[in-house]
Amino acid sequence: MIDRSPMAAKPSLLIVDDEVNVTRTLQMVFEQEGYQVLPAYSAAEAIGISRSKIYELLASGELPSVRIGASVRVPVEALRAWIAEQLDTSRS
CB 8, CB 20: distance < 8 Å: no
> What pLDDT score does 57 carry?
82
Q: What is the pTM of this model?
A: 0.51
Domain limits, the chain: 2-91
> What pLDDT score does 23 carry?
93
Kindly indicate the confidence band of residue 79, based on its pLDDT and cuts at 50, 70 and 90: confident
Task: Tell me the pairing of strands 12-16 and 36-40.
Answer: parallel
The tens digit of pLDDT for each residue in 25-66 reads: 999 999 999 998 999 888 778 877 777 887 888 888 888 888
